[in-house]
Amino acid sequence: MTRPLPVFALLWLALVPGTVFADPAAAEQQRLEARERFYADDYAGTRASALAGLQELGDDESSPLLRAGLLQWAGLGANALGDVTTAQSDLEASLRFYRQAGNPRAIAAVLNDLAAVYGQQSNRTQQLAVLVEAHRIFEERGETRGRAALANSLGNYYAEVGEPAKALPFHEQSVALRRTMDDVIYLADGLQNLGVTLRDLKRDPEARVVFEEALKISREAGDEEGLAGCLTNLGAIAGDEGKFDEALACYQEALRYDEADGYKSGQAILTRNIGTTLHRAGRTGEAVPWLDRAVALSVELDDPERLASAHLERAAVHEALGEPAAAVTDLRAAMNAKDRLAEAARSRSLLELQSKFETLEKERQIERLEHEATERKLALTRTESARLAAEQAHSLEQARRQTAWIVAAAVALVAGLLIVLFFLQRRTSRRLARALSELSAANRELQGLYQRKSEWLSFAVHELRSPLFGIDGLCAEYEAGLADAPKTTVSQIRQTAQRMRSELDAWLETERREQDSTLVLQKSAADLGTLTAEVVERHQAGARAKQIALSFLAEAPTPVSVDARRIHEVIDNLVSNALKFSPPNRRVTARTGVAGNTAWCCIEDEGPGLQEADFKTLFEPFAALSAKPTAGESSTGLGLHGARQRVEAHGGELTAENRPDGGAVFRFTLPLADMIVAHG
C-alpha cells in the first residue's frame, strides 16, 4: 500500500499535470515481490513487479541501489521469458546503477547474470570479460558462495566453447568451495556440472562416481529437479556402456520427476532418450511411441533444435522397421526444423548488424550536430565582428561631423577614438593569436592522424605478405601434385602471387620511412597459445613448400590481456623469419607456457643462427642480418624492430639467442591476466 500524499502535493499534482512523486517504500515492496515471483518460476510476474517498482521510483535519482535491483529483476524475468535483447538492456542499466552505488558484491552478481545473456547471444568475448571481472571481485572479497558461483560459471563458459580441459579446474574449485558450505543442494548442482565436464573429457568412470554422489545427496534432500538431472546423466553413461536396461530405468525414473514438476523441456529430452535406447537395445517397435511423444513435446515447446533431433531419431526407427515413407516424412520434418534454426540464426545476425548500423548512424548524427554547433558559433563570431565594424564606422562619421563645427572638440574626439581603436586592435590581435593557436593545434592533430595512417598502411602491407607467402606455397603443392589439370593456369596463379608480393615489398619500402613507434592498444582477454596456434596453422602451407616441419606445443594455458592483432603480428613475424632462414628438411618449433607471473612464447629454428655482429643491430629499424633467406625471399628489416615495440608496449620483453646445436631461438614474454595471478 502506498502512503497518502500530503495536501500540498495533491495541489501540485492538480496544478502541474504529469508530475510523479517517488515512493521508495512502495518500490522496495515491488522489488521483494519480484524476487519471490522469480523463485516461484513466475517470470512474467517477476518482470511486472520490477517494472511497477521502477514506476514508483519515477525520476528519483536518490536511490541508485534500489533502482539497480529493480532493473536486475526485470532483466532476469525478461531473460527467462526468452527476450534476450531486453534482458541485456535491463541488466547493463542495472550494472551502471550498481557501479554508481559502489556495491561490489551486487556488481559481481549482475556481471554473472550478464554473462549468461552474452552466452545466449554467442558474444563469447564479452561473456568472458564480465566473468573474469566478477570472479576477481569475489576473490578479493573472499566470499565463498560468490567464488563458487563464478568458478562454476567460468567452467560452464569453457565447456560451452568446447574447451573442457580448461573448464575442469574451475568446476573442481567450485565443488571444493561448495563442500565447505552448509547447502547440500548447491553442492549436488556443482557436482552435476563437474560430472558433465568429465564426460566431455571421455572420463566416464570418474563422471559416474560424481553423478552417483550427487544422486545420493539429491535423494536425501528430496530434490526432484536434481534427481532428474543426475538420473539423466547416469542413463547416458549406462547407454554408452551398452547397459540398456540400466539406462532405461534411469531415464524412466527421471521422466516421472519431470512429469510431476511439469517440466516439458526435460520430458522432451527423456522421451527421445528412451526411444533411442530402446532402438539401440533391439526393441525398435517399442521405440516409436516414445519418439512420437518426443516429437509432440518439441512441437508444443516450439523448440526446432529438439524437434529436428526427435524427427531424425524417429526416421532411423522407421527405416529399421521397413517403413521408408514414414522415414522420408520424418527426414523432411527434420530438415524443416533445421531450416528454422538457420533462419533464426540469420535473423539474429541481421538484428546485430542493424544494431551496429543504428549505433554508427547515431554517432554520425552526433558529429553532424557538433559540426552545426561549431558553424553557429562561427556565424555568431562573424556577426559580432560586423557589428563592431559598423559601430566603429558610425563613431568615425560622428567624429567627422563634430570636427566641422568645433576644432578643439574634434581633436579631443579624435584622441578618444584613437584610444578606442588601440584597445580594439589589441583585442583583435588577441583573437587572431588565439585563432592561430587553434589552427596550429588542428594542424598537429592532422599530422598525428597522417602518422597513424602511415603506420596502419605499413603494417597492413606487412600482414598481407605472409598470407601471399602461404598462397604461393599452396600453389606450389598443387602444381607439384597436379595430374590432368592445366598446369599453366596454376603457374600463372603462382606468378601473380609472387608479383603481388613484389609490389607490396615496394610499397612497404616507401612507407617505412614514415614509420612511427607510437602504438594504440585495444586490449581484450585472449590465450597466447591460441594466438600462436592460429599463426602456425596459417604458415603450414609455406612450410611444406620449403619441406620444413612446422609444429606447435602449448605447455600450459596462457591467459593474457593483449591487443590480439598486435600480438598476431609479433608471432607472424617470428614464425615467418624462422621459415625464411631455414634450409629444407629442418624443423621450426613454436612453444608457449607460463613462468611465474608471465606467459612466454618461443620460436626455435635449425637455420644458420645469428652472428655476433647481428646481436648489436638485431632489433634496430631496417637491420640487415648476416644470414640470407634460403629461398630468395625478400626482407625489409622492419619486422623485428616492430615486433619488439609491440611486445614492450604490452609490458613484455623480446629476446634472441642461438641454440647450442645450431639455429636461433626468439622468445618473448607477456604479463599473465589477473585471473591466473589470483589463482597462482
536 falls within a domain: yes
Question: In the structure grid, which three cell numbers stand for residue 574, read together?
Answer: 617470428
The reported pLDDT for the residue numbered 155 is 92
The reported pLDDT for the residue numbered 231 is 95
- Assess whether pLDDT exceeds 60 at residue 64: yes
When pLDDT is averaged across residues 462-480 and rounded to a whole number, the result is 65
Cell 522469480 belongs to which residue?
38
The reported pLDDT for the residue numbered 426 is 84
599 falls within a domain: yes
Q: What percent of the chain has pLDDT over 90?
A: 50
- Assess whether pLDDT exceeds 70 at residue 299: yes
Confidence of residue 18 (pLDDT cuts 50, 70, 90): very low
How far apart (Å, rounded) are the C-alpha atoms in residues 310 and 272? 6
How far apart (Å, rounded) are the C-alpha atoms in residues 338 and 328? 15
Q: Which of 619, 604, 601 minimizes the C-alpha distance to 669?
A: 601
pLDDT digits (tens, 9 = 90+) for 184-213: 999 999 999 999 999 999 999 999 999 999
- Assess whether pLDDT exceeds 50 at residue 353: yes
- Assess whether pLDDT exceeds 90 at residue 276: yes
Give buried/exposed letters for 236-261 (b at 16+ CB in 10 A, else e).
Answer: bbbbeeebbebbbebbebbbebbeee
- Assess whether pLDDT exceeds 80 at residue 335: yes
The reported pLDDT for the residue numbered 121 is 86
650 falls within a domain: yes
The reported pLDDT for the residue numbered 395 is 76
Most distant CA pair in the chain, distance: 128
The angle formed by the CA atoms of residues 402, 404 and 410, to the nearest 5 degrees, is 50
Q: Are 511 and 530 in contact (CB under 8 A)?
A: no
Sign of the alpha-carbon dihedral angle for 387, 390, 394, 396: positive
When pLDDT is averaged across residues 359-376 and rounded to a whole number, the result is 73
573 falls within a domain: yes
The reported pLDDT for the residue numbered 425 is 82
Q: Does residue 111 come out as left (phi exceeding 0), alpha (psi in the -120 to 50 range) or beta?
A: alpha
The reported pLDDT for the residue numbered 524 is 95
pLDDT digits (tens, 9 = 90+) for 111-125: 999 999 998 888 888
Domain span at residue 666 reads: 523-679
| Rg of the chain on CA atoms, in Å | 36
Q: Does residue 163 come out as left (phi exceeding 0), alpha (psi in the -120 to 50 range) or beta?
A: beta
The reported pLDDT for the residue numbered 448 is 64
Least confident of 170-179, 487-496, 648-657: 487-496
Tally DSSP H helices, then E strands, for the chain.
25, 7
When pLDDT is averaged across residues 321-327 and rounded to a whole number, the result is 90
When pLDDT is averaged across residues 539-555 and rounded to a whole number, the result is 93
- Assess whether pLDDT exceeds 70 at residue 484: no
More confident position, 181 or 471: 181
- Assess whether pLDDT exceeds 90 at residue 406: no
617 falls within a domain: yes
Question: In the structure grid, which three cell numbers stand for residue 552, read together?
Answer: 606447435
The beta strand positions in 208-327, using DSSP E, are: none
Put simply, whether the predicted model's pTM sits higher than 0.75 gets the answer: no
Sign of the alpha-carbon dihedral angle for 636, 641, 645, 648: positive
The reported pLDDT for the residue numbered 518 is 59
- Assess whether pLDDT exceeds 60 at residue 463: no
The CATH number given to whatever domain includes residue 585 is 3.30.565.10
271 falls within a domain: no
Question: In the structure grid, which three cell numbers stand for residue 202, read together?
Answer: 571421455
Q: Does residue 663 come out as left (phi exceeding 0), alpha (psi in the -120 to 50 range) or beta?
A: left
The reported pLDDT for the residue numbered 16 is 39
Phi, psi of 256 (to 5 degrees): -60, -40
How far apart (Å, rounded) are the C-alpha atoms in residues 594 and 277? 46
> What does DSSP assign to residue 512?
G
pLDDT digits (tens, 9 = 90+) for 494-539: 665 665 665 566 456 445 544 544 567 899 999 999 999 999 999 9
Confidence of residue 15 (pLDDT cuts 50, 70, 90): very low
547 falls within a domain: yes
Q: Which of 73, 124, 67, 74 minimizes the C-alpha distance to 97?
A: 67
CA distances from 65 to 22, 24, 60, 106, 328 (A): 15, 11, 12, 9, 58
Least confident of 14-23, 99-108, 372-381, 665-674: 14-23
The reported pLDDT for the residue numbered 465 is 63
The reported pLDDT for the residue numbered 386 is 77
pLDDT digits (tens, 9 = 90+) for 219-243: 999 999 999 999 999 999 999 999 9
619 falls within a domain: yes
Q: How many domains does the chain have?
A: 1
Least confident of 377-391, 471-485, 579-593: 471-485
- Assess whether pLDDT exceeds 60 at residue 665: yes
When pLDDT is averaged across residues 88-93 and rounded to a whole number, the result is 94
Confidence of residue 19 (pLDDT cuts 50, 70, 90): very low
Confidence of residue 469 (pLDDT cuts 50, 70, 90): low
How far apart (Å, rounded) are the C-alpha atoms in residues 422 and 431? 14
